[in-house]
Structure 1
């Protein structure tokens, strides 16, 4: 072999060898996987509360920003160490605050891949594969929730943006029917849109209306003692209207009691008055997955739109909300956006920005796809039923103790507890349970009284966790004199 040929061959061999050598720049990914696994492995036995406070976290995390940068592995190790004392074990089996679920393993792993792939989930041209994954996930969601197969589905950040997206579609439709194109002309000079919601509607309904220019002061419809909208009061409110374009916001799973509005009656009344019916079902909509509990949703399938969360009962990582609209034309008209550089596409080509307010976003539907594949139909049913059964178990244990009252009908996964019929005592017990760290639950106010609010939505919770948590609550109540 001539010298030049040998040099060329050696150079090519070196290139092949370098191509096969691992890229050390990504060692931090292995570090992150190891540290994440260590955290998850310890989640069951970890105190549920954070172990440090605001000042300490600021002191340890406020590193000076360097000029030259730092080694990625050092950053990952340092970050995991520094944040650990300030983490709340919300993904664990005894976290019952704010209706926050955990994340099933397949969804966590899929979320890592979504970050590694770094695809813009906004449209097919930017990420063909992930657009189809989301398309499949949307099909499964429609089927599981029992909504029309032709409904539009958008994967958004959470319940706030799911309600926003659905109410934007509602605004379009009711104004269109009144002869006004709100996307073209805005709201100045448009007919007034009347929005009615129950007395205990979630705050995100009012915020969505405010962001849409409809005003945050919706017309409030009285509710019963469980927080359910009264159908007779809705009928009276609509009968006394002036014929304005109207949107009615009902609720599946009141945030305190878990109660469901009477959808059969509400849907009939909305049809009579040609009102758009929206259902806010951030966690309650998943009752559709349970044959034992889907009757709670009877009539909800007649609504025009539905909002729910994946990062609650479906147990996918934050963030994931889901907006569903029965009329895909109204959904697209309110959301779709384009530019000259975006290829024109047929309606059946999956483009995420046709269904969400965001032009660029992560492919949130991938975690939904992974979670549903791991759980399957029966797994999702079992998850919903287990959580509801655990809530009832805790309620029974607490109700058997003198001086402790369960204020709601435990129809789903929510339990409202009051101690000694006293606001101060109730808050004292809540604070003590939070400090003890066996479980974590939140305080709230319902019908003017302070309550302990227990929300069971985590996939890891077992009957043993429910018993252990109930015992921790009872111990704190006895110590406080309840």
Structure 2
């Protein structure tokens, strides 16, 4: 029987185009509740085949009002990027080609594309030439992979083979990390068996940057990994990496740069190249579809020792790069195609322009919301607070429900805040101005309700 590709793929294409073309005018938020979604999508287990076109149509109809349009130019929640047409098209091709990108032998083109793209990324960020690169799901797995390489390296220096002997009886490792770190660092340490009690929180300044003086007091006390940050998730602040790396000496320094690392493409971050490993996301400021994370290490041998595998039933070409040597997955989709296409389409200047435009839009937000701004707006993050915790949380909820724009709530230094993250390539001045108008209107409405109450 000849497969019917055109029917379901044609329906999917038509639905996708409608969704993408409506993003600029679409309500920025879901309409359906979880109960309504279960009602539309649920039902008994299908007992027989369904018509492929109808299946796609019913799926699209069912999820339509439960989608969070994070690709909208007025979506400012979390730190989500969008997807450029080129990156999305390459990702569609990656799905159609359906390559298992773990081995060169299983996907030669995917492996070579990752190799080429890795070289471009290292050059873009100004990292050491020998840096190895892994394509992973996101910053969580990027931090995990980098810290696995760090664990290998620091224990190997102490004469311990963690890959062979595990952690039972191993010398303890201290992980020095800023008090305002991202939770993916803690979670990675749990996954690695080091546990969160190995963490020594380092005091930070008012913007969440690690204080070198506080770090210095905790160094030289045994096996150490230092985790720095390029882009605090609330303020966008970047740790003083040059001082941190100099102070750290022989300790392994990892940089969690999920979104902030991309700012280095235009304006080099002083000391960035002195670190030992780095993590970032392509699905943030490179505007590649989910999921797409990147991990880098300046020590490829430690990277491969922590991640690599040689199995008798696999075909390893020792003259080629096997991607599974650089990430924790075995079978996986070929994420490199979309990253390759995004870089090829934007080039260095396009990436710089995109990042700078997002930062300019963040400053525009800050300028119009100045009485409420909590942070120094040096990147793309704007923190605002409207008096007290209760009013701030109600304003966040009111803006989300209104539907013009969508911002996250957060907690900063023990206080509730609204976090505005400008991370989408389509965000315009008009998007910012409309969003500010809604925020201020919601502030007045919620403040009046407080007075009446």
Q: Please indicate the TM-score interval, normalised by the length of the shorter structure.
A: over 0.9
2:178 is the alignment partner of 1:198: yes
Larger Rg: 1
Residue of structure 1 equivalent to 2:204: 223
Residue of structure 1 equivalent to 2:451: none
Task: Say if 2:115 and 2:321, in contact at 8 Å, map to a contact too.
Answer: yes
Question: How many residues are matched?
Answer: 447
Distance 2:211 2:382 in 1: 22
* Deviation of the 1:63 alpha carbon: 3.2
2:64 is the alignment partner of 1:111: no
Q: Which runs of 5+ in 1 are unaligned?
A: 1-17
2:397 is the alignment partner of 1:417: no
2:108 is the alignment partner of 1:142: no
Distance 2:390 2:5 in 1: 55
Task: Say if 1:337 and 1:359, in contact at 8 Å, map to a contact too.
Answer: no
Q: Secondary structure at 1:285's aligned position in 2?
A: helix
2:310 is the alignment partner of 1:329: no
- Specify which of 377, 382, 392 is matched with residue 363 of structure 2: 392
Residue of structure 1 equivalent to 2:336: 365
Distance 2:3 2:316 in 1: 39
* Deviation of the 1:23 alpha carbon: 4.6
Distance 2:286 2:5 in 1: 35
Q: Secondary structure at 2:411's aligned position in 1?
A: strand
Residue of structure 1 equivalent to 2:346: 375
1:146-165 matches, within 5 Å, as: 146-165=126-145
Residue of structure 2 equivalent to 1:430: 396
2:256 is the alignment partner of 1:289: no
Deviation string, structure 1 residues 171-191 (Cα, Å, up to 9, x no partner): 011111111111111111111
- Specify which of 317, 338, 352 is matched with residue 289 of structure 2: 317
Q: Secondary structure at 2:372's aligned position in 1?
A: strand
2:66 is the alignment partner of 1:72: no
Distance 1:301 1:391 in 2: 27
* Deviation of the 1:135 alpha carbon: 1.1
Task: Say if 1:25 and 1:72, in contact at 8 Å, map to a contact too.
Answer: no
Displaced runs of 4 or more, over 4 A: none
Distance 1:26 1:192 in 2: 58
Distance 1:24 1:211 in 2: 43
Q: What CA RMSD, in Å, does the superposition of the two structures yield over aligned residues? A: 1.3
1:14-93 matches, within 5 Å, as: 23-93=3-73
Q: Secondary structure at 1:238's aligned position in 2?
A: coil
Deviation string, structure 1 residues 218-271 (Cα, Å, up to 9, x no partner): 1111111111111000000115x2xx2110000000110100111111011111
1:164-243 matches, within 5 Å, as: 164-217=144-197, 218-239=199-220, 241=221
Task: Say if 2:174 and 2:224, in contact at 8 Å, map to a contact too.
Answer: yes
Q: Which moved more, 1:337-346 or 1:433-442?
A: 337-346
Distance 1:287 1:446 in 2: 23
* Deviation of the 1:473 alpha carbon: 0.9
1:465-476 matches, within 5 Å, as: 465-476=431-442
Deviation string, structure 1 residues 321-349 (Cα, Å, up to 9, x no partner): 10100111110010001211222332x51
Distance 1:63 1:34 in 2: 26
Distance 1:134 1:75 in 2: 34
Distance 2:435 2:117 in 1: 35
2:426 is the alignment partner of 1:460: yes
* Deviation of the 1:372 alpha carbon: 1.0
Residue of structure 2 equivalent to 1:407: 374
Task: Say if 1:169 and 1:330, in contact at 8 Å, map to a contact too.
Answer: yes
Q: TM-score, normalised by structure 1?
A: 0.91
Residue of structure 1 equivalent to 2:243: 265
Call closer, same or farther: CA 1:184–1:23 in 2, change over 3 Å. closer
Deviation string, structure 1 residues 372-398 (Cα, Å, up to 9, x no partner): 112111111110000000000001001
Distance 1:84 1:237 in 2: 52
* Deviation of the 1:68 alpha carbon: 1.5
Deviation string, structure 1 residues 158-207 (Cα, Å, up to 9, x no partner): 11100000000000111111111111111111111111110011101011
* Deviation of the 1:136 alpha carbon: 1.2
Distance 2:310 2:422 in 1: 41
- Specify which of 415, 427, 443 is matched with residue 449 of structure 1: 415
Q: Secondary structure at 1:412's aligned position in 2?
A: coil
Deviation string, structure 1 residues 278-334 (Cα, Å, up to 9, x no partner): 00000000011223xx3xx21121000000001111111110110100111110010
Q: Secondary structure at 2:237's aligned position in 1?
A: coil
